[in-house]
Amino acid sequence: MGTLTCDILVIGSGVGGYTFALKAARFADVILITKKESVESATNYAQGGIASVASPDDAITLHVEDTLKGGAGLCHEDAVQLVVEQGPERIRELMEWGVDFTREHGRLSLGREGGHSRARIVHRADHTGREVEKVLTSLAKETGRIQVLEHHLAIDLLVRPKVRAGEPVDDGIRCFGAYVIDKKNETVGMISARAVVLASGGAGLVYQHTTNPSIATGDGIAMAWRAGAKMGNLEFMQFHPTALYERTEHTEERRFLISEAVRGFGAVLRTSDGETFMERYHPQKELAPRDIVARAIDAEMKKRGDKCVYLDGTHLSASGLRNRFPHIYETCLERGLDITKEPIPVVPAAHYMCGGVVTDLQARTSLQGLFAVGEVAMTGVHGANRLASNSLLEAIVFAHEAACECERWLKDAPPPPQAEPWSDEGTINQEEWVLISHDRQEIQRLMWDYVGIVRSDFRLHRAERRIRLLEREIMEFYWRTKVTEPLIELRNLALVARLIVHCALHRRESRGLHFTTDYPNRNDVQYQSDTLLSYGALSGDEQSESRVQ
């Protein structure tokens, strides 16, 4: 694909990437790359909505308090305050751009979800993400300054000076682009830029069961780590309590999400014998924070040996369910389930990474010229447990802040330096692709069984040993084989899995999304702080350098 140049390279096509690109197009030429079609992102699957203060009985202070409480002592209060205060303005901006949120009697229809003390979820029926994505992609086509490259996958970031194992990380490392593969013709080139924005989403595909789309393989986290960026709080993977359980398992990894808003609408959780159980775990019952609901479901399943529990909305208005959740209703009906007449079988699934690439309030990472927005970033908003529907809000607020900061950065940023060309010298076209699918499945099973909703030191150490072995084998395969999308993703999955396990082993307490049987209590004396990782903190990173001449 040769070499392309631009002012700003955006990696990822979710709400964060597109919101940033639209704002940056006022002052810069932008190239946005995405692994699939531009609408394939976690945003597109977001059902619930966007949390924002929008009613007379709500207040900024209440939304802040709910977020801090949900984050189990690890939220950064300044980041939470920034996001919540900007919420109403960013919602108005989306509406001005053309997003058609659901209204009732002329006012925004507001849902309520777990952990929220007020109804404040602005939504478009039960497909909010799809509505937002549709508007943003349409606007991007009209600007004339945003070039969207679909089916392009970033392999590694371009940085100076290069990070190498055994050497201290230079605080002056600058990011100026990425090596990118054009998946259609399998050629690798470079995109050179004066600033780079990671908006690549999360890492749900590290786990065997996830609500995430197939693109969520932790690429941004892995690339940023190899480039020398700081990471934080990767032990906090949120498991959504209610993903559709299907007795006839499909081959795809993604499970269909049953939005938390269904519980907010009045549906209740029951065991296989019809008994409700959430009252035994939390006073808010079905509207307890997600980590509590997920662990409660996990405990009830293990206690009875059941493969699922049931989300029952049959006592609710049938027309109300159909009108409020048309996408969920239609999808379940296609699979032989009428949610107005029978309970929905549900299980937890990996849903959202609360940790990621550490950023400040302007979305700046520890590398000069590299910004991060959305799920790939650790802004401090979510702490140890994301409050429902805060994620889309966080993404659009930090995309706004990143655009403002990028405009300042570009005024003084020098042209990008010359980068070493990519080299496939000495590699071959490998035919043993079954090795990739096998290793991918093994990582996912390991993470699900040993680094899931409930953990222990024994499980974590066992996972660590096996993942290290797998990663060594994967890197040997990587060095001798021409790169392809499956191999690039596998390399990233193995690295992100290792980072998650490392963070989990170092948090010797239970807090938020991290629950370990060895340390079942919260310990504010020793562990009320972020788990931060710098390059070189783990052995084996010498295998992670790019293939350049």
Q: Is 290 a catalytic residue?
A: yes
Residue type, 78: D
Q: What angle do CA 332, 344, 444 make, to 5 degrees?
A: 85
Dist. CA 545–CA 156, nearest whole Å: 9
Instruction: State the residue for tokens 């810069």.
Output: 28
**Per the residue annotation, which of 290, 386, 440, 511 is the catalytic one?**
290
Residue 78: Cβ within 10 Å count = 12
Pairing verdict, β 370-372 and 187-198: parallel
Query: What distance lies between CA 85 and its chain's CA centroid?
Result: 23
C-alpha span between 110 and 389 (Å, rounded): 12
Nearest to 499 by CA among 218, 259, 143, 294: 218
Nearest to 11 by CA among 131, 136, 150: 150
> Please, what is the Cα angle at 371 between 370 and 373, to 5 degrees?
150
Closest CA to 409 of 169, 175, 78: 175
Distance of CA 261 to CAs 17, 410, 442, 456, Å?
A: 25, 42, 33, 32
Token pair belonging to 244: 């559709």
d(CA 232, CA 529): 10
Q: Which amino acid is at 82?
A: L
Which active-site residues does the annotation give?
290
